[in-house]
């Protein structure tokens, strides 16, 4: 592997890791605060992609489409919480799994009904076209770099939100002390709505960022959801920091596995193991720490 | 249920199932066979959901393991079902032993996600088997029965599946009422107390996991033989979700619930896909509504409070 | 010297900076009841958890009939004969009374990897369970779901479950908690009968009960045993009165 390829792959790994983090953080927050497993997060990733594509087309501007798309995402996330999830918090896990699985089917097929089965391609916004030279001889697409930086910025903002604000304080307390929040006189229903919208929008934004990189298709969120669930499991359920570390680990393992393993082991075997590498890493970590990295 | 009433129902059911091959065309008969096959898998999943209180979201992996093992062994020149099927079921059981051993160190939501992730890993293994069609899968020559049964005769295959289903059903009824089954349910109710009287939950759960994995593998073997085709889709995670739905559509915690739920699910998918191209949407909607309206908790609560329904069938 | 049925040697346990068990050593012999008293928060339940193996001590040993069981997990200790009953009845909620006791009797056998016989027709589980249920006076609700029992009845089931596990040493964590006066008296008489069969560690708030049942007493305050001896002697000990009895008397909880 040449040095320039190595640098490029590090950036690709970072990018995948950041996007996974955005999706995983939604799952882990919803689990930590509401004790709910949400399989519909993948649907929100997909909806993010479709909504941005549609809004961009309608307004003929990516930069107008973006806020419109996010606004639509918020509405959808609120509807999901108010109509379905709200009734599931006290339910057994199997009910949560099935209802959110049902939601996922509805969204995936609903997207087919609205946008059809063909992938929708999105152009990279003009301002972000082209490449930059990271190091002499290493060119990297500006859009991909911008995605990583933007996702990273969101991550930092989230960190401050959780560590410095009242909402963040409630989120942190929520994972440990449900009763305490109620004693503080906080409207739990509203807090839950906020947390779900926050997590859902972050997942949707990940889908928006992905749109111009891979095409927008129905079911595009499903494989991302599963990788995000792996991050949540590795990181430790409910832990945002753990999810971040795990997402980076998964992003890097997946990216480098796909480049290095076919070279090392031949196309067939290498490809096969590259597909599984993330799960092998997960199994190894779980043998070492059954409750994830964040557990003591 | 009063025994008179129960016996009447049983006789009626037996008559219906016995008459089915003559009353139905081949397509419908295969549909009923499919119901039975998924019934076997759903009974296996229900052993975990209803009796061990564990929710696995990766049992399609064992369906796939059974199907692939059967397909590959057959491809290697072994034809007889008497050889291939037990081996394929053992492959499923072995996979379940490994995955169960790792997943059962956790519980609750963690268990759900870990089983999903492991199943996904197996799914990618199927996908990467280039020699067996990769993503597209491969055709299976049906296994033979030493001349006793014609594997291409739909009626014969139906009766074979019916007999297998019945035997498994009866065996499972015994198993959940056995000391093992009681320990499993006790671990579901109160793991700490079970340990405090001297029984560790882990081993019982692991055995249940292996049993349910083996049952799903058996279903995979049968399904591969029924359709004559094997794809990675057998082990996909939507398939795992569907297995859970079958358990929910029946009554979790009763063995017959698995059979009933599988029958409802297969019928429902069939009807919906006749009506609309977008049947997955309506299926999703039905599941959401079923969960929200039926209130799983109420059913469970009723069952807990009514000692007569605490029973084992 | 007769070997102690159950002994703890220098158990210590820290939660952060709080020393909840401070160098505690106890010993009880078969046929003897040791009362463990102390104010709320003294560390009685934490001590029981360490003896039963639900909580690992930071240091110290637990010996059952002279054998070091410190390294064994809870289920292995239970199987070796160190069984506890819980302060809040901890039952198998979907089971009948009989099934609750029978599963403990089943656990007392080597294992439960038996798949094809019916557990509810296994005489070696069901008969001892029925006998115990009769002994605690609950035969009339043997087939009722435990969720449908009164608190007092559940207390007796709780005890029967522990007994069905065939203990050598029995750890009773506040067996009288929440019982009415009449129920308490019956329970005290019942535990009095049990004394002959097992070595009993009795944690209890009801002073009258402890003084009448225990052969000797330990007073636990802030994780330390501050006094031990015969009940009559301790009743007069000024340190005990100040640390415990006084405290409890002022809150109106003690009958002593």
Instruction: Tell me if chain B has a CB within 8 Å of the CB of A23.
Output: no
Average pLDDT rounded to a whole number, residues B266-279? 91
How would you write chain C as a 3-class SS string? CCCCCEEEEEEEEEECCEEEEEEEEEEECCCCEEEEECCCCCCHHHHHHHHHCCCCCCEEEEEECCEECCCCCHHHHHHHCEEEECCCCCCCCCCEHHHHHHHHHHHCCCCCCCCCCCHHHCHHHHHHHHHHHHHCCCHHHCCCEHHHCCHHHHHHHHHHHHHHCCCCEEEEECCCCCCCHHHHHHHHHHHHHHCCCCEEEEECCCHHHHHHHCCEEEEEECCEEEEEECHHHHHCCHHHHHHHHHHHHHCCCCCC
Phi-psi region of B147 (alpha: psi -120 to 50; beta: other; left: phi over 0): left
Average pLDDT rounded to a whole number, residues B22-29? 90
pLDDT of A166 over the 70 cut? yes
Look up residue B58 and give its DSSP letter. -
Q: Tell me the pLDDT of chain A averaged across its residues.
A: 88
A163, two tokens: 């560590």
pLDDT computed for residue B64 by the predictor: 97
At CB < 8 A and 24+ separation, what contacts does B88-91 make? B88/B217, B88/B220, B88/B221, B89/B214, B89/B217, B89/B218, B89/B221, B90/B214, B91/B65, B91/B66, B91/B217
CA-based nearest distance A203→chain B, Å: 18
Of A37, A87, A286, the CB nearest to B112: A37
Residue-wise pLDDT for A180-228, tens only, equals 777 677 788 888 999 999 999 999 999 999 999 888 999 899 989 999 9
pLDDT computed for residue B304 by the predictor: 47
pLDDT of B246 over the 50 cut? yes
Instruction: Tell me if chain B has a CB within 8 Å of the CB of C157.
Output: no
CB A147 within 8 Å of CB A24:
no
CB A243 within 8 Å of CB A232:
yes
CA separation for the pair A80, C230 (Å, rounded): 66
CA separation for the pair A231, A26 (Å, rounded): 11
CB C210 within 8 Å of CB C30:
no
CA separation for the pair B286, B284 (Å, rounded): 5
Q: Cβ neighbours of residue B296 under 8 Å, at least 6 residues apart?
A: A91, A92, A94, A95, B248, B252
Query: Which residues partner with B211 through β-bridges?
Result: none
pLDDT of A113 over the 60 cut? yes
Q: How many CB atoms lie within 10 A of CB B301?
A: 12
User: First vs last Cα of chain B: how many Å apart?
Assistant: 11
Contacts of C117 in chain B (CB under 8 A): 174, 178-179
Of A95, A102, A268, the CB nearest to B284: A102
For chains B and C, CB pairs below 8 A equal 131
Band of residue B106 on the pLDDT scale cut at 50, 70, 90: confident
Contacts of A107 in chain B (CB under 8 A): 284
pLDDT computed for residue A126 by the predictor: 85
Tell which residue, B195, B197, B218, B196, has the closest CA to residue B205: B195
In this predicted model, which residue has the larger pLDDT, C147 or B300?
C147
Q: How many CB atoms lie within 10 A of CB B142?
A: 18
B259, two tokens: 């059979």
Q: Cβ neighbours of residue A95 under 8 Å, at least 6 residues apart?
A: A88, B248, B291, B296, B297
pLDDT of B45 over the 50 cut? yes
Instruction: Tell me if chain B has a CB within 8 Å of the CB of A129.
Output: no
Of A88, A105, A226, the CB nearest to B280: A105
What part of B 196-225 touches A (C-beta under 8 Å)?
A: none
- Tell me which chain A residue has its CA closest to the CA of residue B123: A276
pLDDT of B251 over the 90 cut? no
Residue-wise pLDDT for A233-271, tens only, equals 899 888 888 999 999 999 999 999 988 888 888 877 888
Residue-wise pLDDT for C96-107, tens only, equals 999 999 999 999
CB B48 within 8 Å of CB B209:
yes
What part of C 10-29 touches B (C-beta under 8 Å)?
A: none
- Tell me which chain A residue has its CA closest to the CA of residue B125: A272
CA separation for the pair A184, A206 (Å, rounded): 34
pLDDT computed for residue A178 by the predictor: 65
Instruction: Tell me if chain B has a CB within 8 Å of the CB of C118.
Output: yes
CB B170 within 8 Å of CB C26:
no
Across the interface, whether the CB atoms of C148 and B305 are under 8 A apart is answered yes
pLDDT of A230 over the 50 cut? yes
In this predicted model, which residue has the larger pLDDT, B302 or B248?
B248
Q: Cβ neighbours of residue B83 under 8 Å, at least 6 residues apart?
A: B73
Helix or strand (DSSP H, E) at B230: strand B229-230
User: First vs last Cα of chain A: how many Å apart?
Assistant: 37
Q: Cβ neighbours of residue B174 under 8 Å, at least 6 residues apart?
A: C115, C116, C117, C118
pLDDT computed for residue A136 by the predictor: 80
Put the strands of the sheet holding C82-85 in their side by side order: C82-85, C169-173, C199-203, C33-37, C216-221, C224-229
| Phi, psi (deg, nearest 5) at residue C7 | -140, 140
Contacts of B280 in chain A (CB under 8 A): 105, 108-109
Contacts of C52 in chain B (CB under 8 A): 196
Contacts of A97 in chain B (CB under 8 A): 55, 57, 112, 241, 244
pLDDT of B295 over the 70 cut? no
Report ipTM (2 d.p.). 0.89
Q: Which CATH class is domain B27-310?
A: mainly alpha
Contacts of B116 in chain A (CB under 8 A): 226, 229
Across the interface, whether the CB atoms of B291 and A102 are under 8 A apart is answered yes
Helix or strand (DSSP H, E) at A143: helix A142-164
C130, two tokens: 């029925």
- Tell me which chain B residue has its CA closest to the CA of residue C85: B196
Residue-wise pLDDT for B143-174, tens only, equals 988 888 888 899 999 999 999 999 999 999 99
Total H helices, total E strands in chain A: 11, 2
Band of residue B301 on the pLDDT scale cut at 50, 70, 90: very low
Instruction: Choose from B81-90, B122-131, B292-301 the range with maximum mean pLDDT.
Output: B81-90
pLDDT computed for residue B310 by the predictor: 39
- Tell me which chain B residue has its CA closest to the CA of residue C49: B196
A198, two tokens: 């926050």
Fold of C1-81+169-256: Rossmann fold (3.40.50)
pLDDT of A58 over the 80 cut? yes
Among the ranges given (A52-66, B40-54, B206-220, B240-254), the one the predictor scored with the smallest mean pLDDT? B240-254
pLDDT of B78 over the 80 cut? yes
pLDDT of A81 over the 90 cut? yes
Instruction: Give the 3-state secondary structure of residue A132.
Output: strand
Structural domains in chain A plus CATH codes = 3-288 (1.10.3470)
Across the interface, whether the CB atoms of C112 and B199 are under 8 A apart is answered yes
Instruction: Tell me if chain A has a CB within 8 Å of the CB of B285.
Output: yes
CA separation for the pair C197, C192 (Å, rounded): 10
Compute CA distances C56 → C13, C48, C60, whole Å: 8, 11, 10
Residue-wise pLDDT for A1-16, tens only, equals 688 888 889 999 999 9
Produce one character per residue of C126-141: b if its CB has 16 or more CB atoms within 10 Å, e if not: bebbbebbebbebeeb
Of A98, A272, A291, the CB nearest to B291: A98
Across the interface, whether the CB atoms of B252 and A286 are under 8 A apart is answered no
CB B151 within 8 Å of CB B158:
no
pLDDT computed for residue B96 by the predictor: 97
Look up residue B151 and give its DSSP letter. T
Residue-wise pLDDT for B171-207, tens only, equals 999 999 999 999 999 999 999 999 999 999 999 999 9
CA separation for the pair A161, A154 (Å, rounded): 10
Of B124, B245, B292, the CB nearest to A87: B292
Q: Is the dihedral of CA A210, A211, A215, A220 positive or negative?
A: positive
CA-based nearest distance C85→chain B, Å: 9
Instruction: Tell me if chain B has a CB within 8 Å of the CB of C101.
Output: no
Across the interface, whether the CB atoms of A97 and B288 are under 8 A apart is answered no
Query: Which residues partner with B229 through β-bridges?
Result: B139
Instruction: Tell me if chain B has a CB within 8 Å of the CB of A105.
Output: yes
pLDDT computed for residue B298 by the predictor: 42
CA geometry: angle at C103 spanning C100 and C109, to 5°?
A: 155
CA-based nearest distance B10→chain A, Å: 30
Neighbours of chain B (3+ CB pairs under 8 A): A, C
Across the interface, whether the CB atoms of C116 and B178 are under 8 A apart is answered yes
Chain region(s) in chain C for CATH 3.40.50.300: 1-81+169-256
Contacts of B286 in chain A (CB under 8 A): 102
CA separation for the pair B108, C6 (Å, rounded): 36
Instruction: Tell me if chain A has a CB within 8 Å of the CB of B109.
Output: yes
pLDDT of C256 over the 50 cut? no
C117, two tokens: 């016989």
Of B182, B200, B305, the CB nearest to C119: B182
Compute CA distances B114 → A157, A231, A234, B237, C249, whole Å: 30, 11, 9, 12, 54
Look up residue B188 and give its DSSP letter. H
Contacts of B204 in chain C (CB under 8 A): 112
Tell which residue, C5, C73, C119, C129, has the closest CA to residue B198: C73
Of B102, B117, B279, the CB nearest to A229: B117
- Tell me which chain B residue has its CA closest to the CA of residue A103: B284
| Phi, psi (deg, nearest 5) at residue A222 | -65, -50
Residue-wise pLDDT for C171-220, tens only, equals 999 999 889 988 899 999 999 999 889 999 999 888 888 888 999 999 99
Produce one character per residue of C177-198: b if its CB has 16 or more CB atoms within 10 Å, e if not: bebeeebbeebbeebeebbeeb
- Tell me which chain A residue has its CA closest to the CA of residue B252: A94
C vs A contact (3+ beta-carbon pairs below 8 A): no
Compute CA distances B190 → B53, B94, C90, C130, whole Å: 11, 28, 8, 21
Average pLDDT rounded to a whole number, residues B247-271? 88
Neighbours of chain C (3+ CB pairs under 8 A): B
Across the interface, whether the CB atoms of B183 and C84 are under 8 A apart is answered no
Of A104, A105, A275, the CB nearest to B128: A275
Residue-wise pLDDT for C82-100, tens only, equals 999 999 999 999 999 999 9
Share of chain C above pLDDT 90, in %: 61
pLDDT computed for residue C237 by the predictor: 81
- Tell me which chain C residue has its CA closest to the CA of residue B198: C75
Contacts of A39 in chain B (CB under 8 A): 241
Of C76, C93, C145, the CB nearest to B190: C93
Residue-wise pLDDT for C198-211, tens only, equals 999 999 888 888 88
Interface of B to C at Cβ within 8 Å reads 171, 174-175, 177-183, 185-186, 188-190, 192-200, 203-204, 207, 303-307, 310
Q: Tell me the pLDDT of chain B averaged across its residues.
A: 89
Band of residue C253 on the pLDDT scale cut at 50, 70, 90: very low
Q: How many CB atoms lie within 10 A of CB B12?
A: 10
Average pLDDT rounded to a whole number, residues B35-50? 96
CA-based nearest distance A287→chain B, Å: 7
Instruction: Tell me if chain A has a CB within 8 Å of the CB of B108.
Output: yes
Contacts of B304 in chain C (CB under 8 A): 93-94, 145, 147
């Amino acid at each position: 592997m040449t040095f320039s390829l190595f640098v490029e792959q590090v950036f690709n790994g970072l990018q995948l890791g950041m996007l996974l983090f955005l999706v995983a953080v939604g799952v882990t927050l919803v689990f930590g605060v509401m004790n709910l497993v949400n399989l519909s997060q993948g649907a929100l990733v997909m909806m993010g992609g479709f909504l941005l594509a549609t809004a961009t087309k309608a307004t003929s501007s990516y930069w107008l489409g973006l806020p419109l798309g996010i606004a639509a995402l918020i509405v959808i996330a609120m509807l999901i919480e108010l109509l379905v999830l709200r009734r599931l918090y006290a339910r057994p896990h199997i009910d949560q799994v099935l209802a959110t699985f049902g939601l996922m089917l509805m969204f995936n097929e609903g997207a087919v009904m609205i946008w059809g089965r063909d992938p929708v391609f999105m152009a990279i916004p003009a301002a972000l076209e082209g490449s930059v030279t990271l190091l002499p001889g290493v060119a990297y697409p500006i859009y991909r770099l911008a995605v990583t930086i933007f996702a990273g910025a969101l991550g930092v903002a989230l960190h401050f939100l959780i560590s410095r604000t009242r909402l963040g304080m409630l989120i942190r307390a929520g994972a440990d002390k449900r009763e305490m929040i109620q004693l503080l006189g906080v409207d739990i229903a509203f807090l839950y709505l906020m947390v779900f919208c926050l997590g859902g929008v972050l997942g949707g934004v990940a889908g928006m960022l992905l749109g111009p990189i891979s095409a927008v298709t129905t079911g595009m969120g499903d494989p991302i959801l599963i990788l995000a669930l792996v991050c949540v499991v590795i990181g430790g359920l409910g832990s945002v920091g753990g999810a971040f570390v795990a997402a980076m680990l998964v992003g890097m393992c997946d990216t480098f596995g796909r480049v290095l393993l076919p070279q090392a082991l031949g196309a067939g075997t290498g490809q096969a193991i590259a597909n599984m590498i993330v799960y092998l890493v997960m199994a190894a970590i779980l043998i070492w720490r059954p409750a994830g990295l964040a557990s003591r | 249920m009063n025994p008179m009433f129960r016996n009447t129902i049983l006789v009626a059911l037996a008559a219906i199932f016995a008459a089915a091959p003559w009353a139905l065309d081949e397509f419908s008969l295969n549909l009923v066979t499919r119901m039975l096959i998924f019934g076997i898998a759903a009974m296996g999943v229900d052993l975990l959901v209803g009796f061990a209180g564990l929710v696995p979201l990766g049992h399609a992996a064992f369906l796939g393991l059974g199907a692939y093992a059967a397909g590959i062994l057959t491809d290697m020149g072994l034809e007889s079902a008497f050889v291939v099927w037990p081996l394929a079921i053992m492959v499923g059981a072995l996979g379940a032993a490994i995955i169960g051993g790792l997943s059962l160190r956790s519980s609750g939501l963690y268990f759900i996600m870990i089983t999903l992730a492991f199943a996904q890993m197996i799914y990618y293994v199927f996908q990467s088997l280039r020699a067996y069609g990769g993503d597209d899968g491969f055709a299976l020559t049906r296994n033979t029965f030493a001349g006793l049964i014609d594997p291409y005769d739909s009626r014969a295959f139906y009766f074979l599946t019916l007999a297998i289903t019945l035997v498994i059903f009866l065996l499972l009824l015994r198993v959940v009422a056995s000391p093992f089954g009681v320990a499993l349910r006790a671990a579901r109710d109160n793991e700490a107390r079970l340990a405090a009287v001297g029984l560790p939950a882990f081993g019982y759960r692991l055995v249940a996991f292996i049993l349910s994995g083996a049952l799903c593998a058996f279903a995979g073997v049968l399904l591969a033989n029924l359709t004559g085709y094997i794809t990675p889709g057998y082990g996909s995670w939507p398939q795992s979700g569907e297995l859970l739905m079958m358990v929910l559509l029946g009554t979790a915690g009763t063995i017959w619930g698995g059979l009933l739920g599988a029958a409802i699910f297969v019928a429902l998918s069939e009807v919906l896909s006749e009506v609309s191209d977008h049947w997955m949407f309506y299926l999703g909607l039905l599941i959401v509504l079923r969960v929200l309206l039926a209130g799983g908790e109420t059913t469970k609560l009723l069952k807990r409070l009514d000692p007569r329904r605490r029973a084992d069938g | 010297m007769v070997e102690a049925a159950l002994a703890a040697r220098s158990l210590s346990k820290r939660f952060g900076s709080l020393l909840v068990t401070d160098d505690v050593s106890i010993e009880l012999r078969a046929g003897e009841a040791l009362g463990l008293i102390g104010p709320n928060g003294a560390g009685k339940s934490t001590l029981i958890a360490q003896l039963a193996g639900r909580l690992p001590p930071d240091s110290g040993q637990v010996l059952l009939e002279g054998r070091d069981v410190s390294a064994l997990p809870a289920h292995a200790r239970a199987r070796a004969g160190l069984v506890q009953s819980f302060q809040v009845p901890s039952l198998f909620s979907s089971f009948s009374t009989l099934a609750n006791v029978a599963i403990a009797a089943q656990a007392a056998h080597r294992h439960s990897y038996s798949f094809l016989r019916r557990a509810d027709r296994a005489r070696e589980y069901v008969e001892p369970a029925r006998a115990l249920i009769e002994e605690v006076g609950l035969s009339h609700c043997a087939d009722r779901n435990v969720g449908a029992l009164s608190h007092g009845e559940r207390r007796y089931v709780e005890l029967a479950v522990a007994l069905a596990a065939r203990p050598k040493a029995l750890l009773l964590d506040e067996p009288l908690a929440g019982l009415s006066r009449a129920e308490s008296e019956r329970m005290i008489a019942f535990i009095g009968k049990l004394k002959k069969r097992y070595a009993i560690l009795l944690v209890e708030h009801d002073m009258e009960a402890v003084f009448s049942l225990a052969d000797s007493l330990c007073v636990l305050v802030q994780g330390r045993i501050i006094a031990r001896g015969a009940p009559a002697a301790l009743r007069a000990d000024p340190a005990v009165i100040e640390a415990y009895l006084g405290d409890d008397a002022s809150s109106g909880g003690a009958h002593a």
